[in-house]
Each structure stands twice: as structure tokens, then as C-alpha cells.
């Protein structure tokens, strides 16, 4: 059963879950780098082509290197499973892998709308501490719902940087056209690199070029699926409300 971006857990609260990109990237990292790492360790340890003067050392270094990338994938999967943002009429609770943070809305002294990273973020600070929420971590509909809630529930005088935030992320036709052009260029870039590295592998320049070709091909698939999701979720009007 597919997960909802934001679902009711009780009458007074809503829980926001991460967009599936973290899960997909994490799974891809674990699978891809496990294969590359296993193959690299095998080739180095058994010195298949006779090019390693110290096979055990080479296998160890290779294993440690690729294991770091596998662990990164595991972290992303754990982050996707664990992360929750609980939003109620009087508080926000952020649940992470290693920590939880809660802030009461009535104690918020300042809400700072920031234009970084990616799709922007908001930082709430007050007597209970600080909470930073990366708005790009959620699906578009959940992101807009959260923005609308905070804009409505927090006093205007306590909100900083909203005008610049709204101006940067207003979903105009010009911005959509620019995003499509950038995506198209990236698709061509990764596709050409994938073909180039595959050709080098076919010409026996080294097995590592097959890995590079696979990585670029994976990026092509990711960018294409991301573009399709963006087109499917594309609204007709501005997404960021005044």
C-alpha cells in the first residue's frame, strides 16, 4: 500500500512523511554499491589480472571505500522510515533517527523563511528551542499544506523573509519552463556520459568504465522519473499562496 505524504493520525494532529526520493536513492545506493564493492574486493583479493602488488591491502581499501557508500544508502533508508513531522494546532514535533524536537507554536518568537536548500526551509525559534524544517523533503502537496498552515497560524509580525521566499518559489510559467530546460540538459549530459563510458568498457579500457556507465544510466532514469512526477503534480496556478 502506498504511503500518503501527509496523513491524519488523530483529530488534532497531522503527520508529514518524507517524499519517496530518500527511499529510492537509499535502495539504489545499497544495491549498486554492494555490487560494485563486492566485485572490486573480489578482483583485488584474488588479483584476477595480476595488477595488484598487495592484493589484501587493495581489497581492504576497496571494501572500506564502497562500504561507506552502502552505509550512506542504509542511512537514507533509515531516515525515510524514521522521520516524521507531527503538526497540530499548537505544536510541531520533529522525529529523526537520533533525536526528537518539539516546539509549541505559542512560544515561537520568530519564523524565518529561508530560500535554501533546494525548495526552501523554515526555522522556528522560541523559548522551547529551534526547529528547522527542509520543505523540499516533502511531496509538493504536503509542502504547500505545511506552508499554508504556518502562514495562517503564526502572527505576521513574527515571520521573517516571507516576501523573498514567495518570490523565489512562486510557480510561474517562466520558472516551470526554465526547470524543464535544465532537466532536459541534465538528461542529455548523463545519457551521453553513459554511452561514452560504455564505449570505453567495450573497447577494453577497464571494468571501472562499466560502473561509470551504470551510474550515469541510473541518473538518467532518476531525472526522467523526477520530471514525470513534476509534470503530474504541476498546478495551473501559483503554488505558494500569498
Residue 14 within any structural domain of the chain: no
Find the CATH number of the domain harbouring 146. Answer: 2.30.29
Which residue range forms the structural domain that includes residue 45?
19-81
What span, in angstroms and rounded, lies between the C-alpha atoms of 40 and 207? 10
Q: Does residue 11 lie in a domain region?
A: no
- Cα distance between residue 41 and residue 67, in whole Å: 11
Sign of CA dihedral 88, 145, 16, 5: positive
101 DSSP β-pair partners = 94
pTM over 0.85: no
At residue 122, the 3 state secondary structure works out as strand
Residue 210 has pLDDT above 90, yes or no: no
- Both 38 and 26 in one domain: the answer is yes
Domain finish residue from 57, 81, 105: 81
Q: In this predicted model, what pLDDT tens digit does every residue of 68-109 receive, in sequence order?
A: 999 999 999 999 999 999 999 889 999 999 889 999 999 999
- As a whole number, mean pLDDT of residues 219-231 equals 77
Element (H, E) at 220: helix 208-233
- Choosing from 153, 169, 185, the residue where a domain stops is 169
Task: Give pLDDT tens digits for 102-143.
Answer: 999 999 999 999 988 878 999 999 988 899 999 989 988 899
Please tell me whether residues 148 and 190 are part of one structural domain. Answer: no
Task: Give the three-class secondary structure for 88.
Answer: strand
Amino acid at each position: 500500500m502506498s504511503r500518503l505524504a501527509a496523513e491524519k493520525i488523530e483529530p488534532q494532529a497531522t503527520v508529514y512523511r518524507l517524499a519517496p526520493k530518500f527511499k529510492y536513492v537509499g535502495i539504489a545506493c545499497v544495491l549498486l554499491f554492494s555490487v560494485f564493492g563486492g566485485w572490486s574486493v573480489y578482483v583485488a583479493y584474488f588479483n584476477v589480472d595480476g595488477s595488484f602488488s598487495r592484493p589484501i591491502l587493495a581489497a581492504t581499501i576497496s571494501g572500506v571505500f564502497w562500504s561507506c557508500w552502502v552505509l550512506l544508502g542504509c542511512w537514507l533508508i533509515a531516515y525515510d522510515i524514521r522521520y516524521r513531522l507531527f503538526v497540530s494546532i499548537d505544536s510541531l514535533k520533529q522525529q529523526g533517527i537520533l533525536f526528537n524536537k518539539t516546539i509549541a507554536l505559542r512560544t515561537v518568537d520568530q519564523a524565518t523563511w529561508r530560500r535554501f536548500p533546494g525548495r526552501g526551509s523554515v526555522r522556528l525559534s522560541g523559548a522551547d528551542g529551534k526547529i528547522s524544517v527542509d520543505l523540499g523533503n516533502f511531496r509538493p502537496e504536503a509542502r504547500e499544506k505545511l506552508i499554508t498552515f504556518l502562514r495562517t497560524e503564526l502572527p505576521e509580525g513574527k515571520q521573517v523573509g516571507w516576501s523573498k521566499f514567495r518570490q523565489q518559489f512562486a510557480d510561474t510559467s517562466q520558472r516551470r519552463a526554465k526547470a524543464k530546460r535544465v532537466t532536459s540538459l541534465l538528461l542529455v549530459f548523463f545519457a551521453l556520459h553513459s554511452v561514452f563510458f560504455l564505449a570505453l568498457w567495450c573497447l577494453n579500457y577497464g571494468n571501472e568504465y562499466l560502473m561509470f556507465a551504470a551510474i550515469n544510466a541510473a541518473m538518467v532514469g532518476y531525472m526522467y522519473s523526477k520530471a514525470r512526477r513534476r509534470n503530474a503534480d504541476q498546478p495551473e496556478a501559483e503554488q505558494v499562496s500569498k
